[in-house]
Amino acid sequence: MKNESYWTDRRTIRRYSDRPVSDALLKDMLQKAAHAPTTGNMQLYSVIISRTAEEKHALAAAHFNQPQVEGCSAVLTFCADLNRMTRWCQVRKADPGFDNLQSLIAAILDTSLIAQQFNTIAEQNGLGVCMLGTTTYNAPQIAKALGLPSLVVPVITLTVGYPAESPEDCGRLPVEAFIHNGRYNDYTPESIDKLYSEKEAREDSKRFVEENDKETLAQVFADVRYPRSNNEHFSTTFIEYLNSIGIKI
């Protein structure tokens, strides 16, 4: 384990050196990550490792050509996998019922947990990691590139490699923003002002507002980065994709 400062000093790494991450190290880290919590000990996930330039290039467009996809040592696509459990049940004379929303949620939880566990283990081994939030946006294209069968859904992508940068801290909301004691306490305009004041006062936040010709940082997020039209479009695409691979939503 690293020292206590690891938890507040960790950074997302998008630029990597040419030093390769060995297959043995990747396998060891995934083996350890598999001890993360899992629903009913079913381990409803699979991990596709893309190492070659061709494999990474095939994924790049689906991740909007973010440079870390082709610049890293390995791209790991963590998939919610309901296929393996279904196949096991079929082979063992059991009636599988894993083609539904509840099973998908369980699989997404399992997938998220092993991905985060891997992220931490990788960083403790001196590696840099970047989580790509674009995986479910273009799930059909990613599934095609990776040859995913029905009942297997790409959920989280991590790029991994030895760091070639030391980025600044991007900041986090204070713990008071998300801790609720006993019951949920809704936010007032006054509490929003207090909780977001530090984030909004950052120089990079002010720059984002200016560059995007907006009045507030919230407008940058709601109008530019994650606009309603995109959210609704990718929601429709994802639901259609899930239905097409046999998951009833």
Predicted confidence (pLDDT) per residue in 157-212, tens digit: 999 999 999 888 888 999 999 999 999 999 999 999 999 999 999 999 999 999 99
Determine the average pLDDT of the residues in 135-141.
Answer: 98
CATH number where 54 lies: 3.40.109.10
Q: Is residue 178 part of a domain?
A: no
Name the residue range of residue 103's domain: 6-167
Residue 5 clears pLDDT 80, i.e. is over it: no
Q: Is residue 15 part of a domain?
A: yes
Residue 60 clears pLDDT 50, i.e. is over it: yes
What pLDDT sits at residue 2?
52
In tens, the pLDDT along 24-44 reads 999 999 999 999 999 999 999
Number of domains making up the chain? 1
Q: Is residue 152 part of a domain?
A: yes
Q: Is residue 220 part of a domain?
A: no
Q: Is residue 105 part of a domain?
A: yes
Q: Is residue 36 part of a domain?
A: yes
Determine the average pLDDT of the residues in 72-82.
Answer: 98
Determine the average pLDDT of the residues in 124-144.
Answer: 97
In tens, the pLDDT along 82-113 reads 999 999 999 999 999 999 999 999 999 999 99
Q: What is the DSSP string of the chain?
A: ---TTHHHH------B-SPPPPHHHHHHHHHHHTTS--GGG---EEEEEE-SHHHHHHHHGGGTT-HHHHHSSEEEEEEEE-HHHHHHHHHTT-----SBHHHHHHHHHHHHHHHHHHHHHHHHTT-EEEEETTTTTTHHHHHHHHT--TTEEEEEEEEEE-BS--PPP-----GGGT--SSS--PPPHHHHHHHHHHHHHSHHHHHHHHHTT-SSHHHIIIIIIS-HHHHHHHHHHHHHHHHHTT-B-
Determine the average pLDDT of the residues in 105-124.
Answer: 98
Q: Is residue 63 part of a domain?
A: yes
Q: Is residue 148 part of a domain?
A: yes
